[in-house]
Amino acid sequence: MGTKGREILKELGIDLKELIEKLNKAFADEWLAYYQYWIGAKVAKGMPREAVVAELLQHAADELRHAGMVADRIIQLGGTPLLEPKKWYDFSNCGYDAPVDPDVRKLLEQNIKGEQCAIGVYKSLIDYTKDKDPVTYDIALQILQDEITHEEDLENIKEDIQIMLKKMK
Ligand SMILES: [Fe+2]
Ligand SMILES: [Fe+2]
């Protein structure tokens, strides 16, 4: 986006520096979420391992795609996406939950918590940009829809495991 686009945002009351900061925070969240899913898929143990691993890998790919969407928007706004991975922890809203316990049920719990946090982050970005920055609003809305689906997918597997365990009793 050229300077005209940025000028319009300023006129509409968007503090560009603040918006870029918020986007960089979401960007850090996406990378940490990506890695949490990716490494979780590697170490996962327990039934049904294959279904959980497939789901975690799918989510990892989505989070990486989200990181790309957010980075592109930061650049359009004239900002710079975080250049150093060590900054991810400083900027992150949702943090990182290491999968120290590889039990699939524990992984599901950790990632559900992460998705709930991500939903809050994008909801607040939507509120922040509503009627002011339709481009960022649209990106945040698309990502929010994915995060809601992610949470639901994980909840569904959790439910299946509970049903399976009940049957085994
Ligand atoms: Fe994401
Ligand atoms: Fe997600």
CATH no. for residue 98?
Answer: 1.20.1260.10
Positions in the chain whose pLDDT score sits under 70: 1-2
Check residue 2 and give its pLDDT: 60
5 CA from centroid of ligand 1 (Å):
26
What's the pTM value of the predicted model, to 2 decimals?
Answer: 0.95
Q: Which residues of 5-17 are buried (b: 16+ CB within 10 A; e: fewer)?
A: eeeebeeeebeee
How many distinct structural domains can be found in the chain? 1
Average pLDDT along the chain: 96
113 CA from centroid of ligand 2 (Å):
10
Q: Which residues surround ligand 1, an ion (CB under 5 A)?
A: 30, 63, 66
Q: What's the domain range around 53?
A: 3-168
Q: Distance between CA 142 and CA 145 in Å, rounded? A: 5
